[in-house]
C-alpha cells in the first residue's frame, strides 16, 4: 500500500496541472478552464524554472518533488485570490515584460489603446524630428511612459505618480529597459511636478466611481492599491482636476492630451477638456475618441496646433 503523498509523487504532471486548473476554476467562480490551465502551467513554470513549452513537454512524467512542493505553495496563494501577475512578479504589456507587485496597478490590455493613440500623436507632432516632450500622469508601474519611450526614440518622457510605492516599480522597470536617459520619474500631484511645457500628455488616472469600487472582485480590492483604482464619487474627479491644469503645462503652439476612462465616461471627459482648453484660448481643437478591443469608448484625445494631414512632412 502507498500513502496519498507517495501516490501523488507518481502522478504525471499533466494530471496534477489539470486538477489544479479545476480547483482554480471552482475557487474563482470562473468557467474558463483554458485560462485556469494557463495559470497552472505558469505557476508550475515559476516553481520549476521551466518555460511553458517545457512544462507541457514534461506532462507525461511525475514532477520532481521540490518543484511539486514549490508549485503547491504558489497554487495556494493563487487560490487565496492573490493576482497571478503579483505571484509571477511580471505582466506583459505592449510587447514588453513589466515587473509588478504590491503597490502598483497591474497594467491592463485596454491601456494599450492609449499607448497607440499617444504614439500616433508623437509621430504626427511637428517636433517629431527633434524631440517630443511627453508626460504620463499616474504612471504606476511605468507601463505607459516606458512603452512610449521604448517605441518612440525621439521623446523625453516624464512619469509622475503621487505614490512612492508605485514609483519604485516604475524605477525598476525603467532600469530593466535601460531607459534612464530619456525617462524622468517624479513624485507629486497630477501635473504639478512638471517644469517644462509638454507636447503629448497622457493619463490613466483612477476612474472607478466609489460606489462601483465596492462591487469590484476581491482580487482587485484586496491586492491592488485603492488609490490606483478608485476615482472618487463620480469616478472622474482626478481627471477633472487634471483638465484644469492642462493649459498651464501643455505647449502653447501644438499639443495633445490623451485620457483613458471607464465605459460611459467619454462624453463627460471630452466636455471637461474642451472647456478647459477653450477657456485658455487653445484651439481649434481636434477631438478624437478611441475604442478598445471590446468596442468601449476608452480613450479621449484632444489636440490643437497639429498640421493638417496634407501639410505634414513626407514620411512624418
Q: How far is the CB of 98 from ligand SAM (least distance, A)?
A: 9
H-assigned helices in 49-194? 52-57, 65-79, 84-88, 111-123, 143-151, 164-176
- Find the binding residues for ligand SAM in span 263-292 (CB under 6 A): none
User: Which x/- pattern over 112-141 shows residues binding ligand SAM (rule: CB under 6 A)?
Assistant: -------------------------xxxxx
> In this complex, which beta carbon is closest to ligand SAM, that of residue 41 or of residue 230?
230
Q: Residue 48 or 141: which CB sits closer to ligand SAM?
A: 141
- Is 162 within 8 Å of 187 (Cβ atoms)? yes
Considering only residues 88, 166, 254, 258, which one is a binding residue for ligand SAM as defined by CB under 6 A? 166
Confirm if 134 and 104 have CB atoms less than 8 A apart: no
CB of 148 to ligand SAM, least distance (A): 11
Q: Give 101 or 206: the residue with its C-beta nearer to ligand SAM.
A: 206
- Near ligand SAM in 172-211, by CB under 6 A: 189-190, 204-206
User: From CA 64, how far away is CA 16, in angstroms rounded?
Assistant: 12
Residue 161 makes contact with ligand SAM by CB under 6 A: yes
Of 154, 136, 132, residue with least CA distance to 145: 136
| Subset of residues 233 to 262 that bind ligand SAM, contact rule: CB under 6 A | 238
CA separation, residue 177 to residues 147, 149, 150, 172, 184 (Å): 10, 10, 8, 9, 14
The answer to whether residue 148 forms part of the interface with ligand SAM (CB under 6 A) is no
Using CB under 6 A as the binding rule, whether residue 21 contacts ligand SAM is answered as no
Cis peptide before 242 (omega within 30 of 0): no
Q: How many CB atoms lie within 10 A of CB 187?
A: 12
Residues that bind ligand SAM (CB under 6 A): 105, 107, 111, 137-141, 143-144, 160-163, 166, 189-190, 204-206, 227-228, 238
Amino acid at each position: 500500500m502507498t500513502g496519498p503523498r507517495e501516490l501523488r509523487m507518481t502522478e504525471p504532471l499533466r494530471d496534477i496541472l489539470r486538477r489544479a486548473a479545476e480547483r482554480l476554476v471552482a475557487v474563482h467562480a470562473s468557467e474558463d478552464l483554458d485560462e485556469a490551465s494557463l495559470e497552472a502551467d505558469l505557476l508550475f513554470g515559476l516553481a520549476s524554472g521551466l518555460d511553458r513549452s517545457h512544462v507541457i513537454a514534461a506532462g507525461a512524467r511525475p514532477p520532481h518533488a521540490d518543484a511539486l512542493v514549490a508549485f503547491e505553495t504558489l497554487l495556494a496563494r493563487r487560490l487565496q485570490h492573490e493576482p497571478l501577475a503579483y505571484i509571477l512578479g511580471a505582466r506583459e504589456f505592449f510587447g514588453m515584460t513589466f515587473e509588478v507587485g504590491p503597490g502598483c496597478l497591474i497594467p491592463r490590455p485596454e491601456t494599450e489603446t492609449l499607448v497607440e493613440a499617444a504614439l500616433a500623436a508623437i509621430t504626427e507632432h511637428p517636433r517629431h524630428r527633434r524631440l517630443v516632450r511627453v508626460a504620463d500622469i499616474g504612471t504606476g508601474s511605468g507601463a505607459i511612459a516606458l512603452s512610449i519611450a521604448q517605441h518612440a526614440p525621439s521623446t523625453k518622457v516624464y512619469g509622475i505618480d503621487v505614490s512612492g510605492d508605485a514609483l519604485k516599480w516604475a524605477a525598476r522597470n525603467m532600469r530593466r529597459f535601460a531607459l534612464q536617459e530619456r525617462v524622468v520619474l517624479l513624485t507629486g500631484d497630477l501635473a504639478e511636478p512638471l517644469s517644462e511645457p509638454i507636447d503629448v500628455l497622457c493619463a490613466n488616472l483612477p476612474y472607478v466611481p466609489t460606489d462601483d469600487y465596492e462591487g469590484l472582485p476581491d482580487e482587485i480590492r484586496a491586492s491592488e492599491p485603492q488609490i490606483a483604482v478608485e476615482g472618487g464619487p463620480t469616478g472622474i474627479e482626478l481627471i477633472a482636476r487634471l483638465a484644469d491644469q492642462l493649459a498651464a503645462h501643455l505647449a502653447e503652439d501644438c499639443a495633445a492630451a490623451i485620457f483613458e476612462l471607464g465605459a460611459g465616461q467619454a462624453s463627460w471627459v471630452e466636455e471637461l477638456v474642451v472647456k478647459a482648453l477653450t477657456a485658455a484660448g487653445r484651439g481649434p481643437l481636434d477631438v478624437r475618441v478611441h475604442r478598445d478591443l471590446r468596442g468601449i469608448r476608452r480613450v479621449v484625445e484632444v489636440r490643437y496646433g497639429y498640421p493638417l494631414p496634407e501639410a505634414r512632412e513626407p514620411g512624418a
